[in-house]
A and B are shown apart, each in its own frame.
Chain A
Amino acid sequence: MSAANQLAALIANMFATGLLDDQFQQLQMLQDPSAPNFVSEVVTLFCQDGERIIGELAKQLDKPSVDFDRVDAFVHQLKGSSASVGALKVKNTCIQFCELCQQKSKDGCLKTLETVRINFYELRGKFQTMLQLERQVNGFPPNN
């Protein structure tokens, strides 16, 4: 199967499994000759930033006395960025996370953080594959 086909199949699959929503399509539509790498840029940025935020969340929740406001702020940030790229599953988990922050439940937050982490890494894996395939489609050898 050609890289292009693989790419298309991958993306379709991500939509089908609820990893992505139509916001991602909006991003795809925004890509044009004037911004040929837009999608890959956004995706890369999201992957990097998301990881950072999750790290921050873990740190915050690791404290003996958790500052839920800060946790909330980070969660909202993750929510915002995942919403902006169309990362549906991650976004939904963030929404749950927010609820637990409001309740100031450390346990609940920790659990949800785990879920977020899992979902995020799942998505990130697929994004990375996507980026690789895209490079191939564009004539570059696959990255590692």
Chain B
Amino acid sequence: MAAAEARGREFPVGMKVLVVDDDPTCLLVLKRMLLDCRYDVTTCPQATRALTMLRENRRGFDVIISDVHMPDMDGFRLLELVGLEMDLPVIMMSADSRTDIVMKGIKHGACDYLIKPVRMEELKNIWQHVVRKKINENKDHEHSGSLDDTDRNRPTNNDNEYASSANDGGDGSWKSQKKKREKEDDETDLENGDPSSTSKKPRVVWSVELHQQFVNAVNHLGIDKAVPKKILELMNVPGLTRENVASHLQKFRLYLKRIAQHHAGIPHPFVAPASSAKVAPLGGLEFQALAASGQIPPQALAALQDELLGRPTSSLALPGRDQSSLRLAAIKGNKPHGEREITFGQPIYKCQNNTYGAFSQSSPAVGGLPSFAAWPNNKLGMTDSPSTLGNVGNSQNSNMLLHELQQQPDTLLSGTLHNIDVKPSGVVMPSQSLNAFPASEGISPNQNPLIIPSQSPSFLASIPPSMKHEPLLGSPSPSTSLLGGLDMVNQASTSQPLISSHGANLPGLKNRSSNAMPSPGISNFQSGNIPYVVNQNAIGVSSRPPGVLKTESTDSLSRSYGYIGGNTSVDSGLLSSQSKNPQYGLLRSQNDVSGSWSPSQDFDSFGNSLGQGHPGSTSSNFQSSTLGKLPDQGRGRNHGFVGKGTCIPSRFAVDEVESPTNNLSHSIGNSGDIVNPDIFGFSGQM
């Protein structure tokens, strides 16, 4: 309760409540009652708009009260999303008092369920939920990472949750809540806390240097033997606790797993596909962590990559690989809510500029090179290991992808890996501008065909000077398509492209609402909706001609979408960068460089799905353009995700990739952006 804390002693007076209900009568009555309780009330008749508001201002509210039956979004869906992305207490409310519905609410993580007419007494007590949640979070956080086995359990846990959610939306939901909690715990570790902050738990900012030390330690020990304690010792960083390391390690493992899966899933020349084709999006966490502060020195990256590359997916000592596959699978398709599963996308990431969304797609192809480097500050969806691939090494991914597409020899790939620079800012792209990918040349190390550096200034700024190739960033001109005409989106976050181009049929593509597009879009797509590709950031779009995605995209956008020649797996995860980015300290570019897109989970599948399932949108469009399409706001923002730098996986497909303002206008309320409510996967079906 930041707001509450700020206000101090008078809590719960002034507690910030957001009420979402399409019934104006109820909204008015509730507002009056809440005001009478001396709360700070904001009402919103549309769930989608509410979600945007929340994404824009995560800390602006302490508790949400939401109706169950709403036309533009199912209340349970909103509940899940809020829980996942913002982890705020949500109270459900309805005239429907049937036990099964109430049960559903509880399972989806509602703190409480009020039956209309809501009475004053009930409202007076809602502050308890806020406090309780805070306490629980703190407690969990303190306990988190206390034991190695806890860490071990976590990934498994998470995987299970994913899997379970995938298989059973209803029952899984509570697990996802749990997972959320765990994630929250993990995240808190990474959250950036002011050194002088008075927060109880000191938060570790996983800066690039720190992460590199971590990676070095892990490499030294060997991924199999890397236990937090030893890592801690090796790192020898004063003030770092075993818990911090444990939590970070967990995320890292997830990331690796994801990469591995990508490898497995993609018929990659470099990697023998072993596991399911579906690649689970790498937890953006890893990426985030990596990208947290910016760039990871190439050597660290290379080292990491080597390690990863060196091990076939199976060999990656990642626990629960199967699980991750499971997750992927789960994400891919079954879950209507993509967010949770995050296979790619982890929960909606808020990417500031999803500009880079483009690359996510390729990431799968990349073969999971953990391009840690690639996390641009944005909170590329990394919050939760979003398409890590996408983010991290966009360059890598893209390179990989390109390779794959172009069937380049492995050498190219490995070459690239080492050269990948970690670039801050959501753009996955390595410093290279899109142009760098001339097909003929293959992929140059720093080229990230997929990633199109958004022009956002922030992104540009973050591009390290070391970039070998001319920085793509900021190059407004559409890059020459790498693969058969893939245009990388130079502009700002792309992500949307895939979806938006179709006239917004693509679910979740709407960038506009930027927030709205959570990476889930990707996951949602599994169900046939737009695949991750759609993710706002249109990452890794297939080689379709760019520009398809965005209907409104500016010229630059349309041009720049890069695709990956064949597989368009869009990583929606990549796109969303923000959602939990803050915690990881991801670099957040001002202009919302889109954070990481979760590498399209299933690279293959997306490619395929792109073609299909997109509501109204031709998947093909996505693919091609999305890759690089960064919604062009001129700022290099990923439209796909959320305007203000929050990338929401394309689930929410904002239709306009670029919004006139940097902040992707979350015009959710107008539902103009939401072309197809189903995109969100909500359509009321969980």
Query: Residues of A at under 8 Å CB distance from B?
Result: 23, 26-27, 30, 34-35, 38, 41-42, 45-46, 49, 69, 73, 76-77, 79-81, 83-86, 91, 94, 98
Whether B69 lies near A81 (C-beta < 8 A) is no
Whether B69 lies near A42 (C-beta < 8 A) is no
Asked, given contacts A42-B28, A77-B23, whether A30 binds B94 with beta carbons under 8 Å apart, the answer is: no
Measured between beta carbons, the chain A residues less than 8 angstroms from B95 are: 76-77, 79-80, 83, 91, 94
A sample of 17 inter-chain contacts (CB < 8 A) reads A23-B117, A26-B120, A34-B35, A35-B35, A38-B32, A42-B28, A45-B24, A45-B28, A73-B71, A77-B22, A80-B67, A80-B116, A83-B95, A83-B116, A84-B23, A84-B30, A98-B96
Q: Is B5 an interface residue (CB 8 A)?
A: no
A sample of 13 more A-B contacts (CB under 8 A), given A35-B35, A49-B25, A84-B30, is: A30-B29, A30-B36, A41-B28, A42-B28, A42-B29, A76-B68, A76-B96, A79-B95, A81-B25, A83-B117, A84-B29, A91-B95, A98-B96
Measured between beta carbons, the chain A residues less than 8 angstroms from B28 are: 41-42, 45
Measured between beta carbons, the chain A residues less than 8 angstroms from B26 are: 80-81, 84
Measured between beta carbons, the chain B residues less than 8 angstroms from A91 are: 95
Asked, given contacts A30-B32, A35-B32, A81-B26, whether A86 binds B117 with beta carbons under 8 Å apart, the answer is: yes
Q: Which residue of A lies closest to B101 (CB)?
A: A76
Asked, given contacts A49-B25, A86-B117, whether A77 binds B69 with beta carbons under 8 Å apart, the answer is: yes
Min C-beta distance of A22 to chain B, whole Å: 10
Closest 10 CB pairs of A and B: A80-B95, A81-B25, A79-B95, A83-B117, A80-B116, A46-B25, A84-B26, A84-B29, A83-B116, A23-B117
Whether B32 lies near A45 (C-beta < 8 A) is no
Min C-beta distance of A86 to chain B, whole Å: 7
Min C-beta distance of A98 to chain B, whole Å: 8
Measured between beta carbons, the chain A residues less than 8 angstroms from B36 are: 30
> Interface centre among A23, A49, A77, A94, by most B CB within 10 Å?
A77
Measured between beta carbons, the chain A residues less than 8 angstroms from B118 are: 84
Min C-beta distance of B124 to chain A, whole Å: 13
B95-129 contact mask (Cβ, 8 Å, vs A): 1 or 0: 11000000000000000000011111000000000
A27 CA to B36 CA, complexed, in Å: 11
Whether B32 lies near A73 (C-beta < 8 A) is no
Asked, given contacts A45-B25, A49-B24, A77-B23, whether A84 binds B116 with beta carbons under 8 Å apart, the answer is: yes
Whether A76 lies near B69 (C-beta < 8 A) is yes
Q: Is B274 an interface residue (CB 8 A)?
A: no
A41 CA to B25 CA, complexed, in Å: 9
Q: Is B412 an interface residue (CB 8 A)?
A: no
A94 CA to B22 CA, complexed, in Å: 18
Q: Which residue of A lies closest to B33 (CB)?
A: A30
> Interface centre among B22, B25, B684, by most A CB within 10 Å?
B25
| Other-chain residue from A30, A42, A69 in contact with B25 (beta carbon distance below 8 A) | A42
| Other-chain residue from A23, A26, A80, A86 in contact with B23 (beta carbon distance below 8 A) | A80
A79 CA to B26 CA, complexed, in Å: 10
Measured between beta carbons, the chain B residues less than 8 angstroms from A77 are: 22-23, 69, 95
Whether B94 lies near A80 (C-beta < 8 A) is yes
A86 CA to B118 CA, complexed, in Å: 11
Whether A85 lies near B29 (C-beta < 8 A) is yes
A54 CA to B21 CA, complexed, in Å: 18
Measured between beta carbons, the chain A residues less than 8 angstroms from B96 are: 76, 79, 98
Whether A26 lies near B119 (C-beta < 8 A) is yes
Measured between beta carbons, the chain A residues less than 8 angstroms from B67 are: 80
Measured between beta carbons, the chain B residues less than 8 angstroms from A34 are: 35
A77 CA to B119 CA, complexed, in Å: 17
A46 CA to B117 CA, complexed, in Å: 14
Measured between beta carbons, the chain B residues less than 8 angstroms from A26 are: 117, 119-120
Min C-beta distance of B391 to chain A, whole Å: 39
A98 CA to B22 CA, complexed, in Å: 19
A64 CA to B94 CA, complexed, in Å: 29
A35 CA to B32 CA, complexed, in Å: 8
A107 CA to B444 CA, complexed, in Å: 69
Measured between beta carbons, the chain A residues less than 8 angstroms from B116 are: 79-80, 83-84
A77 CA to B28 CA, complexed, in Å: 14
> Interface centre among A35, A49, A80, A98, by most B CB within 10 Å?
A80
Q: Which residue of B lies closest to A21 (CB)?
A: B117
Min C-beta distance of A104 to chain B, whole Å: 16
Measured between beta carbons, the chain A residues less than 8 angstroms from B68 are: 76
A81 CA to B24 CA, complexed, in Å: 8
Q: Which residue of A lies closest to B29 (CB)?
A: A84
Q: Which residue of A lies closest to B26 (CB)?
A: A84
B665-685 contact mask (Cβ, 8 Å, vs A): 1 or 0: 000000000000000000010
Measured between beta carbons, the chain B residues less than 8 angstroms from A84 are: 23, 25-26, 29-30, 116-118
> Interface centre among B24, B30, B36, by most A CB within 10 Å?
B24
A80 CA to B115 CA, complexed, in Å: 9
